[in-house]
Structures are given as C-alpha cells and as structure tokens.
C-alpha cells in the first residue's frame, strides 16, 4: 500500500467501495494538478445507469466550472491529461455528455476485489461507517393492555431492521421497548379483568364499563388471575394494583413477547414506565430542565380549531410546562396536570433523559403516524437535554380483505391481531411485505394476499434466488466433488459482462447497508435483493445451454463456483439484515403440475 490520499477512507469499507475511493483519490489528484484552485472540491463517483457509460461516472468537471469559469468539457480534458494511474486500474476513460468522466476499470480489478467475501463470510456487508457510536432504537412500545395488531407489526419490523442495519454499519446499538404500564388505561384494564373474573365464578358481578377493554383476551387474563389465587370478592379499590400488575405482565409475557418471538425480534431491555414514577425519576428530569431555565408556570390556551366536547369545561389554571416553543414546537407542553399528577409526556421526558444518561448520543424512535403530533415536543425536549432524536413516523396500515377495509380498534372486540397474521402468512412473508414500501407511505395490507404462496408474494422470488445458488453448489459437490474456494488465478475466467455485473452488485453491499442505515430506510435492502437476484436469474437462464457454472473446464468451473458462492453469501447476509430466512432449497408450490 502506497501513501493513502486523504480522500481515501481506508478501513471503513471493504470490497467495491474501496475501489470507488481509490478512483476518487486518483481523480482528486488530477483535479489538483489541472485546476489548482479546485483542489479538495467535492465530487461524485457513482455507477451510471447505463452500462455503456462504464463502471463509474465522475462529475468533477461539472462541479469545477463554478470555480474555474471554463467549459466543463475542457476541464474534463485537463483532468484526463493529468490522471496518474500507476496501478493501472483504468482501462478506459472517456469524456461524455456535458463533461462527465466515464471510467471503465480493468476487469482484473473487479476479480481481485471479490476476495473480500472470502475473507469476511457472514460478516461481509459490515462496515465501520458508524464508528461505534452508541445509538438507541426504541420501537414497538405497544401498550400492555391487549394483543398487538398489524400496525404494531409494521413498527416492529421497521425498528428491528433499522437496528440491524445500524449494527451492520458499525454502530453500537441498543434496542428497547417502552412499557406504558402506568396511567389511566391500565386501570381500565384492571377493572375489565375483575369484571370478567366475576363472570367466571359464582360471585356478585362487577359490571364491565363501556370504557373498559372489551376483547376476548381479557377473559383469559381473568382466568389466569383466578388460577393464580386472585379473589374476585374483594372490592376493586383494594385489589386494583394487584390486578394491574398481574394483567400487564401477563399480557406482556403471553401476548406481546410471544408475538415478538414468532417474529424473531429481540430487545435488549423492556423499560417500564412505572419504574420511572416509583423511583422519582421524573423529578430528576424536571429539575434538569429547571436548571436550564426551560420550565415555567403558564395558563395554556384551549386547543384551537378542534371540535370540543361542550360539556368539558376548559380549566384555566397555571400549569408547569416545558418551553418547547423555544425549539420550534407551536405551544409549550405541560408536565403536570391540574390535579398534580405528571403527564404522560413528563414520563417520556424522564425516559429519554435516562437514555441519554446511559451514553446513547443518537436516539431513534419508531412511531406510528398517529403519534405525529408528538414529534416536535419530544425532539425539542431531547435537544434541550443535549441529545439528538430522530423519529421514524411510519404511516398506518390499512387492513384490507377482499377489497373491503377492515376497521381496527383496540377497544373493540373484533380486530385482526398480529398473531393471526403471523400464523397465516408466516414471519418471512410478513416481514418482506412490510419492508417493500418506504415507512412513510401508507400501506394497504391485504390479509388474503399475504396468505398467498405464489409470485404475487415477492419473498419467494428472493428466497428462490438463494436456493438456486445453493442447488448449484450442492450439485458441484455431489457430482464433481468440487467446493468453492478463492483462486485468484482462475478468476480471470470470468469475462462475460453479466459476470462482471454480478461482481459489482455483490461488492456494493457494504455501502448499500451503510447508506440504508444512514437514511434509516430498510426498503433499500429489499430492492437490492430483488435487483441482484433478477440479474442472477438472467445470467443463469441466458447461459444455461452454453456457459454453465459447472462445466468440463476446471478453471471456469472454479471461478464461477466462487462467484455463485459469493453471491449466495451476499444474498444470505442481506436477508439476515432483514431477518428473513435464506433457504437452501424451495419446495415446489402446492397444486402446480402435480398431475
């Protein structure tokens, strides 16, 4: 290795990105010589859309024209004349269009780079882009008052994959689930459990309030509570804490954690809101805000524009607030209610303060769009406490069945649970379905479609690509006793344009994952998989009769076997990021050509 140019981000990425940075360094040196006043300027080195344009398109001359008021094509010519390429990376450099530099690399450069997969195996795709920064992803955080529904599922998958992406991109990631086990809703649950319990045994009935949770699962909780020795004859006020504790932990354990397990999602910590209250952590957070001069006593104006219940009179009384308006919120937010109890927001402030004090400097929350009104105040308060908060607001899932919208409500007795979905469609298909669209797009989830096991479900296409690679490797071993191995000499045998294209696609994985992590956009990995596998299927079919992977030419066989092996590894790693299984064989679809 010669002296590294400053632009060369050595060690952050392996594989194709290193090639790209080496290209960038060579062009940067030429720019410095050709146009001294433009030295150090930022420019792009990107694979162009059209293959004829080479391996990389460089826009340096176009960017330079601002500084060196000159024709970009002339500037491009000057850069080309100053290119110094002692390693002979470049095969061809052309000036094209308005002044792009189209660079084609020598093929053996790509051949050599593919060793990265051999070295890194199931770690190929990792990078150090995040530099070990401590990052917290909070997601799901479903209330422990009932089963999770399909919308929670979307948040669960998004959060899980975002956390995976960040880990692969070199961040140190914590995953947390915030349990809303305090406040009014849990008392509604406790009361519902008692009401249902009195229906199950011969005791005086406690009627179910209309505001109580109505779902069938409450009967199960009630039965479990009775089995554990709960006494439904005692008055509610005496046992409501016992009921609350029992019901929330039962639901967390047997409904929520079970679903997460079926989905293959793990958390580092389930953080209880109640412990914040019990341990007086709210006061500590509020005190911090006091010290920063960000609290005040204010009489808040009534909410504007909304239709309000005329019976509810607005209480004009001073409340302790956080001055979130100083950070762009449209009104200050109360920390305590008129009755002196802390607001839900106050607890959340304390929780985020806790995250920061544990050394997490980048906070990411994955929320449903129904929390949209909460974003500004939370960002404001985290900023006030010296942190940085990013919020992924995913649009809600419209559950459909046979073209008819399915209405979901947690209070209502009838809704489709995440459990039902997982049991009918399976974790892999459900994950891919949720990841197929950007999080900020509303998603119509057709329950019927998710259960289909055919082409309309893209998970099979993606998995089939992996299985096909496995089948080739299996056959090579069984019939020829050949296993894939890194053989730099044999790699020269890969000369077909489709083979070079596949190598490039494999090698872009680390950068793709780093970019997806940076932008918090998991769907990019799904599209990468689809496009890469399509390229492989095309290659496979085109040369099926002429240039097969396994042939009588040992050199070609060795090189192609390695290519297929490396591709399979890249696919498997990308699937691992998504939490989707990578099968080595696919069962034929049911009912297809059986006769």
Nearest distance from C-beta of residue 403 to RNA, angstroms: 11
Nearest distance from C-beta of residue 341 to RNA, angstroms: 7
Closest CB to RNA among residues 74, 524: 524
Give the containing element (helix H, strand E) for 95.
strand 90-96
Give the containing element (helix H, strand E) for 399.
strand 397-401
Nearest distance from C-beta of residue 125 to RNA, angstroms: 16
Q: Residue written as tokens 């974790």? A: 427
Task: Provide CB contacts within 8 A for 381, sequence distance 6+.
Answer: 289, 322, 324, 327, 333, 349, 352
Closest CB to RNA among residues 226, 550: 550
Nearest distance from C-beta of residue 86 to RNA, angstroms: 25
Closest CB to RNA among residues 47, 488: 47
Assigned token pair, 519 = 């932008």
CB 161 within 8 A of CB 175: no
Which residue intervals of 426-522 are DSSP H helices? Answer: 427-435, 447-451, 458-475, 497-507, 509-519
Closest CB to RNA among residues 198, 248: 248
What is the rounded CA–CA span in Å between residue 280 and residue 269?
20
Nearest distance from C-beta of residue 14 to RNA, angstroms: 18
Closest CB to RNA among residues 207, 328: 328
Phi/psi of residue 81, nearest 5 degrees: -65, -20
Question: Helix, strand, coil proportions of the chain in percent (round to 5)?
Answer: 50, 15, 35
CB 322 within 8 A of CB 295: yes
Closest CB to RNA among residues 130, 230: 130
How many CA atoms does the CB half-sphere of 457 hold within 13 Å?
24
Q: Of 574, 572, 566, 443, which is closest to residue 164 (Cα–Cα)?
A: 574
Nearest distance from C-beta of residue 336 to RNA, angstroms: 8
Nearest distance from C-beta of residue 200 to RNA, angstroms: 27
Nearest distance from C-beta of residue 134 to RNA, angstroms: 21
What is the rounded CA–CA span in Å between residue 376 and residue 395?
17
Phi/psi of residue 328, nearest 5 degrees: 100, 0
DSSP per residue, 163-190? HHHHHHTT-EEEEEEEE--SSHHHHHHH
Nearest distance from C-beta of residue 105 to RNA, angstroms: 14
What is the rounded CA–CA span in Å between residue 357 and residue 94?
54
> 303, exposed or middle or buried, with CB in 10 Å at 0-12, 13-18, 19+?
exposed
Assigned token pair, 317 = 């009384």
Closest CB to RNA among residues 230, 468: 468
Closest CB to RNA among residues 80, 96: 96
CA 446 distance to own-chain centroid: 22
Nearest distance from C-beta of residue 202 to RNA, angstroms: 34
Closest CB to RNA among residues 114, 508: 508
Closest CB to RNA among residues 524, 555: 524
Nearest distance from C-beta of residue 1 to RNA, angstroms: 27
Nearest distance from C-beta of residue 83 to RNA, angstroms: 16
Closest CB to RNA among residues 359, 589: 589
What is the rounded CA–CA span in Å between residue 222 and residue 442?
36
Closest CB to RNA among residues 86, 455: 455
Helix 497-507 crosses helix 523-542 at what angle (to 10 degrees)? 160
Nearest distance from C-beta of residue 457 to RNA, angstroms: 8
Q: Of 411, 479, 406, 392, which is closest to residue 141 (Cα–Cα)?
A: 392
Phi/psi of residue 161, nearest 5 degrees: -75, -35
Q: Residue written as tokens 């008819």? A: 404
CB 78 within 8 A of CB 71: no
Give the containing element (helix H, strand E) for 275.
helix 273-278
400 pairs with which residues across the strands? 405, 446
What is the rounded CA–CA span in Å between residue 34 and residue 189?
73
Closest CB to RNA among residues 355, 505: 505
CA 378 distance to own-chain centroid: 21
Closest CB to RNA among residues 102, 573: 102
Give the containing element (helix H, strand E) for 407.
none
Nearest distance from C-beta of residue 227 to RNA, angstroms: 27
């Amino acid at each position: 290795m010669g002296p590294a140019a400053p632009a060369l981000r050595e060690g952050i990425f392996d594989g194709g990105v290193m090639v790209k940075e080496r290209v960038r360094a060579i062009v940067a040196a030429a720019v410095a010589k050709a146009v001294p006043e433009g030295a150090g300027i930022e420019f792009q080195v990107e694979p162009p859309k059209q293959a004829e344009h080479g391996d990389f398109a460089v826009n340096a001359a176009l960017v330079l024209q601002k500084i060196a008021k000159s024709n970009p094509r002339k500037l491009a010519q000057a850069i080309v004349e100053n290119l110094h390429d002692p390693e002979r990376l470049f095969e061809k450099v052309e000036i094209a269009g308005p002044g792009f530099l189209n660079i084609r690399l020598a093929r053996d450069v790509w051949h050599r780079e593919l060793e990265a997969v051999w070295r890194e195996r199931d770690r190929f795709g990792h990078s150090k882009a995040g530099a070990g920064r401590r990052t917290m992803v909070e997601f799901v955080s479903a209330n422990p008052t009932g089963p999770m529904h399909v919308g929670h599922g979307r948040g669960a998958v998004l959060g899980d994959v975002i956390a995976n992406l960040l880990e692969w991109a070199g961040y140190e990631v914590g995953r947390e689930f915030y349990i809303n086990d305090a406040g009014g809703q849990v008392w509604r649950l406790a009361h519902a459990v008692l009401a249902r319990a009195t229906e199950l045994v011969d005791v005086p009935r406690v009627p179910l309030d209309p505001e109580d949770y109505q779902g069938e699962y409450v009967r199960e909780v009630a039965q479990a509570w009775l089995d554990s020795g709960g006494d439904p004859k005692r008055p509610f006020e005496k046992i409501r804490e016992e009921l609350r504790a029992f019901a929330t932990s039962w639901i967390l354990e047997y409904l929520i954690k079970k679903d997460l397990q079926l989905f293959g999602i793990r958390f580092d910590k389930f953080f209880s809101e109640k412990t914040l209250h019990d341990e007086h952590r709210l006061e500590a957070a509020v005190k911090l805000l006091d010290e920063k001069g960000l609290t005040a006593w204010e009489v808040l104006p009534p909410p504007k524009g909304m239709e309000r219940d005329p019976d509810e009179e607005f209480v004009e009384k001073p409340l302790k607030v956080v001055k979130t308006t100083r950070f762009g919120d449209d009104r200050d937010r109360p920390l305590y209610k008129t009755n002196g109890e802390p607001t839900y927001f106050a607890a959340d402030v304390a929780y985020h303060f806790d995250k920061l004090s544990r050394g997490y400097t980048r906070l990411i929350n994955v929320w449903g769009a129904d929390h949209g009104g909460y974003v500004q105040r939370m960002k404001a308060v985290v900023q006030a406490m010296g942190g940085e908060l990013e919020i992924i607001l995913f649009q809600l899932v419209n559950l459909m069945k046979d073209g008819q919208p399915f209405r979901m409500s947690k209070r209502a007795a009838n809704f489709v649970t995440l459990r039902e979905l997982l049991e009918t469609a399976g974790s892999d298909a459900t994950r891919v379905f949720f990841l197929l669209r950007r999080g900020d797009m509303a998603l119509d989830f057709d329950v019927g479609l998710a259960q289909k096991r055919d082409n309309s479900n893209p998970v099979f296409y993606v998995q089939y690509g992996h299985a096909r690679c496995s089948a080739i490797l299996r056959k090579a071993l069984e019939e020829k006793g050949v296993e894939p191995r890194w053989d730099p000499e044999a790699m020269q045998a890969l000369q077909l344009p489709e083979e070079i294209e596949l190598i490039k696609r494999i090698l872009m994985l680390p950068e793709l994952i780093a970019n997806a992590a940076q932008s918090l956009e998991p769907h990019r990995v799904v599209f990468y998989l689809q496009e890469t596998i399509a390229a492989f299927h095309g290659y496979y079919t085109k040369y099926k009769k002429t240039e097969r992977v396994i042939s009588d030419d040992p050199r070609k066989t060795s090189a192609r076997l390695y290519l297929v092996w490396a591709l399979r590894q890249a696919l498997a790693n990308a699937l691992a990021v998504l939490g989707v299984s990578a099968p080595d064989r696919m069962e034929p679809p049911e009912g297809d050509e059986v006769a």
